[in-house]
Amino acid sequence: MRIEHLAIWVKDLEEMREFYEIYFGATSENKYYNPTKKFTSYFLSFEDGPRLELMHRPDVAIKSMGGEYIGIVHFAIAVGSKEKVNQLTEKLKNAGFEIVGKPRTTGDGYYESVVLDPEHNRIEITI
């Protein structure tokens, strides 16, 4: 068994798609639209691993930002080396994205940084 995809409700579907394409090399499938439900989505594929589904529907409530909460807290994207973690973290910082965890080796042995995407989802950038 394996995780096939993860899904995120988003406010701005196009901004989020572009973020993952530009900074993480995602490839987007065609936009899906269901006019009855006013639902739109993209499936994003990466070099390896599960896909990411970005979904939008105007009636979905926005979660409150800040603090911890029950549910999926983050997901990790492996970039291959410490140098790439550092470079991508710096690139995201220079582009104005919030870095909430500077590159470091964690207590459980991961070398990672943590960035917030445009809608404040946490992404661990790892080796």
Q: What percent of the chain has pLDDT over 70?
A: 94
Q: Pairing between strand 99-105 and 39-45?
A: unpaired
Domain boundaries, the chain: 1-59, 73-127
84-119 confidence digits (pLDDT tens): 999 999 999 999 999 999 999 999 999 999 999 999
| Token pair belonging to 41 | 């989505």
pTM listed for this prediction: 0.89
> 73-127 maps to which CATH number?
3.10.180.10
Q: What percent of the chain has pLDDT over 90?
A: 86
pLDDT of residue 95: 98
Nearest Cα neighbor of 39 from 17, 56, 53 is: 56
Superfamily of domain covering 1-59 = 2,3-Dihydroxybiphenyl 1,2-Dioxygenase, domain 1 (3.10.180.10)
pLDDT of residue 61: 81
Q: Do domains 1-59 and 73-127 have the same CATH topology?
A: yes
